[in-house]
């Protein structure tokens, strides 16, 4: 009953969000939301939109952003949006986070001298874990195969994401460093420790022991788990259990929601930070205790001092490791 009830609640929320925010679209589409094209934005950035990267899953479309039209060789940041695995979009962002997301933060990363790929992926409950991790690998294989045509440096990659996308990023990092874990998910990672240089994990939550009812509803919907004590898929998503000493250098961020230093975002961040410190993997954890920063606060980097500091620390960490 638990699995069924989680699905029903998520489907109800999913339907309401799509009716309000994504009119005319369905959660899992095989066609792009927009006509594929290429445009130069008023700020000078160049965007190629809605490139199909796979035919194995719906929502297999990505946008690629460049600082300019020069086709210069630059490191590649790959970003996955949030949305609890039941909604969210590469362009519209995560409707659960502050301000609803969007691409402002991503444009700022591009303006710092990086090419950036932001991608959509299949949504639960129709597509459950680990489908999204396999779909990530489809995207990465496509980008490597088409690197020359797309003017991407896939030898210097930062994998990143917010919320649900951060979960995916942390899990894929574990797949890269632990072949046995990757095999359990049915993934043969195309990225290796040599070309995946750094991770940017912005508010992951993978430790079910601290989930509240709302978080469990979404993650239960994604995994198919019936309860917080489920030892199957819920245990498998907790990537920290499978991290080995070849893990990728990681920038880690957490907001103060829902319960400051005892919430699931801060618990995940501290747990990953401790694990990486124990095995000697470079990492930087950003957390401001008591600052009352909401989920997705990084998108306020133009007006919020903590968000600005977090972004600057992220960029400093990326630059340090992307060329290592």
> Which residues are within 8 A (CB) of 219 and not within 5 positions of it... i.e. 6 or more apart?
84, 85, 205, 208, 211, 225, 234, 237
Cβ neighbours around 148 below 10 Å, total = 8
Q: Where are the domains of the chain?
A: 2-322
Q: Output the DSSP codes for 293-304.
A: PPTTGGGGTTT-
The three-point CA angle 53-55-60 to 5° equals 45
Which residues contact residue 253 at a Cβ distance below 8 angstroms, ignoring those fewer than 6 apart? 200, 201, 202, 203, 269, 285, 286, 287, 298, 310, 314
Residue 10: the pLDDT is 94
Q: What is the mean pLDDT of residues 167-178?
A: 97
Confidence category of residue 6, pLDDT binned at 50, 70, 90? confident
Under DSSP, the state recorded for 93 is: B
Has residue 230 got a pLDDT over 70? no
* pLDDT mean across residues, the chain: 93
Task: Tokens 């609803």: give the residue.
Answer: 100
What is the pLDDT averaged over residues 207-228? 86
Dihedrals phi, psi of 113, to nearest 5 degrees: 105, 25
Q: How many CB atoms lie under 10 A from the CB of residue 66?
A: 23
Model confidence over 36-93: pLDDT tens digits?
999 999 999 999 999 999 999 999 999 999 999 998 989 999 999 999 999 999 988 7
- Reported as a pLDDT band with limits 50, 70 and 90, residue 99 is low
**pLDDT score for 192:** 96
Q: Is the peptide bond before 17 cis (omega within 30 degrees of 0)?
A: no
Instruction: Return the closest-CA partner of residue 99 out of 313, 310, 295.
Output: 295
Average of per-residue pLDDT across 282-297 = 96
Instruction: Kindly indicate whether the domain formed by 2-322 is annotated with CATH number 3.30.70.270.
Output: no
Beta carbons of 217 and 166 less than 8 angstroms apart:
no
pLDDT in tens, 180-201: 999 999 999 999 999 999 999 9
Position 1 scores a pLDDT of: 43
Whether residue 135 is predicted with pLDDT greater than 80 in this model: the reply is: yes
Radius of gyration of the chain (CA): 18
Decide: 220 and 3 in contact? Cβ < 8 Å. yes
SS3 for 61?
A: strand
From edge to edge, which strands make up the β-sheet containing 250-253? 37-40, 46-52, 61-66, 115-119, 75-80, 153-162, 196-202, 250-253, 283-286
Residue 66 phi/psi, 5-degree rounding, is: -130, 145
How many helices and strands (H and E) does the chain possess? 10, 9
């Amino acid at each position: 009953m638990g699995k069924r009830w989680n699905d029903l609640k998520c489907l109800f929320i999913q339907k309401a969000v799509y009716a309000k925010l994504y009119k005319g679209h369905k959660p899992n589409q095989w066609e792009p939301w927009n006509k594929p094209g290429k445009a130069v934005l008023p700020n000078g950035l160049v965007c190629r939109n809605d490139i199909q990267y796979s035919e194995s899953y719906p929502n297999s479309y990505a946008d690629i952003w460049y600082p300019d039209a020069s086709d210069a060789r630059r490191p590649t940041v790959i970003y996955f949006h949030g949305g609890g695995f039941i909604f969210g979009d590469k362009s519209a962002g995560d409707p659960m986070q502050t301000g609803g997301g969007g691409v402002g933060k991503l444009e700022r990363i591009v303006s710092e001298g990086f090419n950036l790929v932001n991608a959509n992926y299949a949504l639960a409950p129709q597509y459950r874990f680990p489908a999204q991790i396999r779909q990530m690998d489809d995207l990465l294989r496509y980008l490597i195969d088409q690197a020359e045509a797309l003017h991407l440096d896939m030898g210097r990659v930062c994998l990143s994401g917010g919320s649900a996308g951060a979960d995916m990023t942390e899990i894929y990092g574990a797949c890269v460093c632990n072949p046995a874990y990757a095999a359990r998910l049915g993934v043969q990672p195309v990225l290796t420790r040599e070309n995946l240089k750094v991770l940017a994990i912005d508010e992951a939550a993978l430790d079910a022991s601290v989930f509240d009812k709302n978080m469990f509803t979404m993650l239960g919907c994604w995994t198919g788990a019936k309860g917080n004590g489920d030892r199957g898929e819920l245990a498998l998503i907790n990537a920290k259990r499978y991290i080995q000493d070849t893990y990728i250098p990681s920038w880690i961020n957490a907001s103060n929601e829902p319960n400051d230093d005892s919430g699931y975002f801060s618990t995940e961040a501290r747990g990953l930070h401790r694990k990486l410190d124990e095995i000697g993997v470079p990492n930087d954890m950003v957390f401001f205790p008591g600052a009352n920063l909401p989920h997705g606060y990084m998108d306020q980097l133009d007006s919020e001092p903590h968000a600005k500091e977090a972004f600057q620390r992220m960029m400093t960490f990326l630059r340090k490791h992307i060329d290592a």
